[in-house]
Structures are given as structure tokens and as C-alpha cells.
Amino acid sequence: MSFDLVLFGGTGDLAWRKLLPALLQAHRHGSLPAGGRIVGVARDDLSDAQYRDLIRSRFEGVEGDKQPSEDEFARFAELLHYQRMDLTQPADYQRLKDRLAERNADVVVMYLATAPQLFTVACEQLGAAGLATPHTRVVLEKPLGHDLQSNRAINAAVRGVWGERQIFRIDHYLGKPSVQNLLALRFGNALFEPWWRRETIASIEITIAERLGVEKRGAFYDQTGALRDMVQNHALQLLCAIAMEPPINAHADAIRDEKLKVLRSLVPWTDAALAQNVVRGQYGAGQLAGEPVRAYRAEDGVAPDSHTETFVALRAGIANWRWAGVPFYIRTGKRLAAHEAHIAIHLRPTPHPIYPTPLVCGTNRLVIHLQPRDGLALHLLAAASETRGVRALAEAPSLTPVQLDLDFQQRFGAERVGAYERLLLDVIAGRLNLFVRADEQEAAWRWVEPIMQHWDAQNARGEGPRPYAAGTWGPGAASALVARDANTWLEEC
């Protein structure tokens, strides 16, 4: 199958850091279909050769198995081409159409790795130029809008050009091997289904922590914030994977139907719940790995009086029979103490304990590690071996925490398919299972929008985000949030 992948924003940060390295890995693995062509599109004035040199420089200094050999990159470079375009100029779309007509590939993928405000004009111009054909697919990067209204406007413009089955709204967390294993864990093993419910599970924690700050994305991030950047998409998609009912099959719409039910079942916000169950923070100066780091407001591109949140912690609930009364804690932030993402499922204690148990929070829990480690650990209690004297037969043995640990990288090898590699291959093949449907996005925006409105009202009163020092786990109010339910975050156990 021949394909053309047109990468709008072909010299941008996302293409540089994620997309082109993922395509190179797919080519190295032999999974990229033969007869392909990658056309980078941007406003820079480059030739094909200059574009190839630019992408080659991306891998200078890369260590380990991510570093391609000269021969490997030379073969990959044969796929790389470049087209200078101004996305607001209709004549440039006609030139792109002429270039694509040279091959008439079986599949054409339009990947919009651009600023979201360009999605509408790009789609409308692609349609006007006759580039939205039945064998064309469009990929939309997050964030898709900045609120419910803008999300609906973008989706309406895109659906005016393409059918829903041609639209691939990407969330790279859904392509992570660990998230795929979460679905396999739930729906491929009979062991877990009987206790995957409120009667057995006491609480669930989703943490996505980053040690990095905003880096070179200060201007973008200051208009976005952690809620839009991480919670509305990544965190809620993880929540759906944990909480959804078993789909009738593994087809795309069956899975997405069940995720939508979860989003629609989230307990809606009230003023009292917003005040008590949502914490926002912003990092100040601090230290990471012994090195001083500057405050968020001192970052390039950030307003010196910014109220943009770099940290969010919240308590959510799901109003259905499976999850009624189970708190779901979501936490994400920048400049935190670790680079780590995990899902911790804390089980209820035994109804009638007959052994003395150690004072360990969430004594029985399942922890699904997403990054940097990829695996899962089941935390249990076992009888401690006795090495000092003989115990009375009538005395119950003491228990000690133990864990069953599975490291997916060790089990399956380091050359596993990465998130973007998997998703790009799925786009080319036309598989929609790991992509987000429009009604899912709308439901997610509808749930988070009251939080944004609550913060706007706080800002108007001069109440900004809570400060926290870089290198910590965020504001102290985040610990108080879970402590009200007699719970703790995983690192506090």
C-alpha cells in the first residue's frame, strides 16, 4: 500500500521531538508500509536536501538504540520531502495538490501538527483545493480548542470536509504500551473482573508528574495551563480506560461508546465541590537534582503576573452502580519531584482481619506504571519468616508488605513500539481504536469547563493558584484533598 504523509508543521517542535523520530523507528522496525513518502510542510524556505539535513541533525548526540546508523538514516531520508506553504494562501494548497498528484498514493494522511487556531483554515482550504478525497485522512493534535465552544467549532469545520471515520483525533497516551496493557489486563483476564468495582476498590489515583518546566513553550503554555494540557485529554482518557464497562468487542466504536458513558457519568461540579475538591498550583523557584530552577513567572514567554496553573489535583466521582462512592484522584503538574506517571488502585481492607497488619496505607493495591517505567506491581501481605526463637502455635504470624512485579520492558524487550509510532501506523492503516471521537471530546470539555469558570472568578477576585516550590510534589492542599478521605498519594505511603 502506497501512502503520502503530509506533515503540516514539519519543522515544528512536535515533528522534531516526536513524529519524525517515531516514523524513523517504524522504518527501522520494518513496519512502515513500503511505497511511502513523508512531505514536511512549513513556511521555511528549504529544499528537500536541506530538510533531510535538518532532520538528520535531530539525531546528533542521541545515545543508545534510538541513534540510527548512517545507512539506516540514508534509507529513511529517501522518504523525506519538503513543501514550503503558507496555510492561509489558497495557491499553496494547489501546489501541494499538484505534488501529491505525481504519485496518486493509495492513502494520503494530512497531519496537522500546527497551532490549533490553524486547524479550521487548513481544513477549509484542503477541502476547497479538492484535497479531501475518500482516501484522505486527517490527524488533529491536541488541544482541540480551548473550551467547549471552540472545540465544537473546530469539529464542525473538520466534519464539513471529512467524514467521522476519516478524522483521527490523537491523544498519544492512548498509544502507550502500558495503556494498551491496562485494557488487556482488564478485558483479557478473568482474574480481575470480579473485584473491579466499588465493593472491592476503595480509591483510584491517576498521577502524571513532570520534572520539566515549560522549556521553550512558555508562550503556548501560558495560554493553556495544566487543566487543558493534561487533564481534559490524557488524564480523563486514562480514567475512562480504568472505569469503562467491557465493550461488546474490540472495534473502535464499541470501545469509544463505553468511554463516552464514563465521561457522561462523571459527577457534575457544584460550587461547593469546586471549592473543596479542586486544587490548582503554580511552581516557584526551587531546586531539582541539586540545581536551582526559576519560578514559572520568570520563564520566557510567561506573563510576570500570570495566573496560569502548572499543577492540578482534583477529586472526581462516577455516578453509576460500579463506581458509586469511589473517589478518583487526578494529579498532574510541572517541576515536580519526579518524572513519573502511574495509576494506583487501592483495595479495601479485609472485612474481618485475623492477623496483625502493618500500618501501610493501601496495604493491598495494584499500581500500573506508565512512565518512565512500563509495568505493574501487585502489593500484597505475606507472613513474615521467623528467625528469632519459636513462636507460640496459638499466636498469629505477623504480616509484611510484599509485591509481585512485572516489568514489561524486561519481559517484552526494549524494542517495543512507542506511542507515536503505534498511532502513526494505525492512521496509515485506518484503525480508529486508539483515537478520540468528537462526542468524547465534547463530554470531557463539558465536565472541565466549570473548573475553568471557577478559576476565572477567583482570578477576578485576585485569588491566584497556590504556590509550590519546584522539586516538591505540589501545594500542601493536594495532600489535604486526599487526607479528608483518610487517603494519601502513592509516594506518601
In the annotated binding site for substrate, the residues are 172, 176, 210, 229, 334
CA distance 129 to 131: 6
The whole-angstrom separation of Cα 363 and Cα 139 is 43
- The string of DSSP codes covering 154-221 is HHHHHHTTS-GGGEEE--GGGGSHHHHHHHHHHHS-TTTGGGSSTTTEEEEEEEEE-S---TT-HHHH
Which residue, 74, 139, 134, 79, is CA-closest to 106? 134
Among 27, 234, 342, 346, the active-site one is 234
Q: Are strands 291-293 and 286-288 parallel, antiparallel or unpaired?
A: antiparallel
**What's the angle, vertex CA 476, arms to CA 471 and CA 480, rounded to 5?**
140
Residues 489 and 316: their CA atoms lie apart, in Å, by 15
Report the phi/psi class of residue 248: left, alpha or beta, with left for phi > 0 and alpha for psi in -120 to 50.
alpha
Residue 352 burial (C-beta neighbours within 10 Å; 0-12, 13-18, 19+): exposed
DSSP code per residue over 367-427:
EEEEESS-EEEEEEEEEPPP-SS---TTSPPPEEEEEEEEEHHHHH-S-PPPHHHHHHHHH
Annotated binding site for NADP(+): 43, 86-87, 142
Closest CA to 487 of 385, 365, 318: 365
Element (H, E) at 313: strand 311-316
Q: Which cell numbers hold the place of 477? A: 492542599
> For residues 129, 131, 137 and 143, what is the CA-based torsion angle, rounded to 10 degrees?
-20
From CA 405, how far away is CA 386, in angstroms rounded? 24
Whether residue 307 lies in the annotated active site: no
Rg of the chain, C-alpha, whole Å? 24
Cell of 84: 514550503
Instruction: Write down how long the chain is.
Output: 493
> Which residues is 468 bridged to in the sheet?
283
Amino acid at 215: E
Q: Which helix (H) or strand (E) holds 332?
A: strand 328-333
Q: Which residues are catalytic?
A: 234
